[in-house]
Amino acid sequence: MDWRPRGVLLDTKSLVRGVFDASSNEALLIDAAACGKVELFAHSKSWNAVLWLVMSTLKNESGTPVYSGEKLGVLRESLPIVFTS
C-alpha cells in the first residue's frame, strides 16, 4: 500500500539500543517512526527484555526500582512501536 510507510521489525538487541542509546542507528529509526517515515514493530518478548533491564539496573539508593509499572506503561505507550505477540 502506497500510503503506509515501510515496516521494520526490531529484534530485542535493536530495541534495547534504540531506547537506551540516543546516538545509535536504532534510535534514529525510532525518531523516523515518530515522524511517520517508517513503521516499527517488535515482539512483546522484546519489550519484556527492556522491562527486565530497566527494573534490574535503574534503582535508587535503597535498591528499589526507580520506575513503577505505571511509568513503564507510559514509556511503552510513548514509543512509536507496534508490539506484537
* pLDDT number for residue 2: 65
pLDDT tens-place values along the chain, 85 residues long: 567 778 999 999 999 999 999 999 999 999 999 999 999 999 999 999 999 999 999 999 999 999 988 999 999 999 999 999 8
How big is the chain, counted in residues? 85
- DSSP letter string, 32-67: HHHTTSEEEEEEHHHHHHHHHHHHHH-B-TTS-BSS
Give residue limits of the domains in the chain.
6-84
